[in-house]
Amino acid sequence: MDLSNLVDPEEEEAGTELTPEMQEKLTKLAELLLPNWEFNVLSIEVIQGGQMALVWKFMTDEGPKCLKRIHRPEKKALFSIHAQDYLAKKGMRVPGIIPNKDGSLYTKHGPFLFVVYEWIEGRPFNLTVPEDLQWMMRGLGDYHTQSVGYVPPPATPIFSKLGKWPKHYIKRCQQMETWKLIAKRFPEDPFCQLYLAEIDPFIVKGREILDQLRASHYPEWVAACKKKPSLCHQDYGTGNTLLSEEQIWIIDLDTTTFDLPIRDLRKVIIPLMGDTGVWDHQLFELMLAAYEEVAPLTPEQKNVMYIDMLFPYELYETVSERFGRKNDIMPEELMAAFEYEKRKTEQLSQLL
């Protein structure tokens, strides 16, 4: 019985609220898959079904467990599955993977891989509470240091972004230029008017940052990390961390990759500051200090981090929402993004 296409991705994306029909479909899918594992399943609950990652909580006589459909392509999924198994067996606080009856870490059904994890009970962290932020940053430092030594099994494709930042910058600068062409097609649109009036200095700045990165410690650091890489989570935040019994647990490693650890720092700190609309240097120092309690950075490494943080990521994301994802973004939001990038540049430039 092939139920690989039981769930229509377009139907999944239609909204976060699952209809009774969708709940029933997802429950049937779990019932089909779970016999691949040695469990006495007592009940099944759909936890997440609104994105490509499907998550079920099921109760057994051994306690609650988690069934998940990995939303990454198979080659990248194998890299993250084995990384999580490595970290769990090493004692890192990530959910342990429970092998199926064949001893495999996953079961393939249709084009997707399904994995069963230990279920972690805990509370999410609150980004407005300094103590919670410190917990999270120490946990991130632990993730980076504990992941050194992970070697994917033979024939498993390696997922790495080491050395790829220059291409990353170039692509975004080119995209911001392309969005100018789109904006020119709507000369009466206030958002487009503002974008055209203000964007050029930020594109120029993006290219300058590329030159700074190439002239920094970045190439040497990349070369060293290729010999002894560590993992970046890439989606670290309140949705993927839990406080359980006074310990931080890190979940959802689907997008983990080899890269410099400061990629995660930038992806945590910059959006947090962007949400407030200001660059809070005291908060920045608090987060960095907590991280360095576990994973100290050299002055040269910090310099690379400051350079990377200078790139107008938040501005890029704001404009992408309008021109890329076709969402309604008000001109006021764009102006706030421009102002935030200016304040961020002033603060970070003092640290370089």
pLDDT at residue 348, as a whole number: 94
The pLDDT tens digits of the residues spanning 72-108 come to 888 889 999 999 999 999 999 999 999 999 999 999 9
Does the pLDDT at position 114 exceed 90? yes
pLDDT at residue 10, as a whole number: 38
Q: What are 257's strand-pairing partners?
A: 232
pLDDT at residue 1, as a whole number: 38
Where does the pLDDT of residue 49 fall: very low under 50, low under 70, confident under 90, or very high at 90 and above?
confident
Domains 9-118 and 130-351 share a fold: no
Does the pLDDT at position 48 exceed 50? yes
pLDDT at residue 298, as a whole number: 98
The pLDDT tens digits of the residues spanning 137-191 come to 999 999 999 999 999 999 999 999 999 999 999 999 999 999 999 999 999 999 9
Question: CATH second-level architecture of 9-118?
Answer: 2-Layer Sandwich (3.30)
Does the pLDDT at position 307 exceed 80? yes
Indicate yes or no: pTM above 0.85. Answer: yes
pLDDT at residue 352, as a whole number: 85
pLDDT at residue 11, as a whole number: 39
Domains of the chain by residue range = 9-118, 130-351
Does the pLDDT at position 9 exceed 60? no
Mean pLDDT for 21-36 is 96
Mean of the per-residue pLDDT values for the chain? 93
Does the pLDDT at position 15 exceed 50? no
**Fold held by 130-351:** Aminoglycoside 3'-phosphotransferase; Chain: A, domain 2 (3.90.1200)
Does the pLDDT at position 125 exceed 80? yes
Mean pLDDT for 307-320 is 97
Does the pLDDT at position 199 exceed 50? yes
Does the pLDDT at position 40 exceed 50? yes
The pLDDT tens digits of the residues spanning 270-291 come to 999 888 888 899 999 999 999 9
- 123 compared with 6, residue with greater pLDDT: 123
Question: Most confidently modeled of 9-18, 226-235, 265-274?
Answer: 226-235
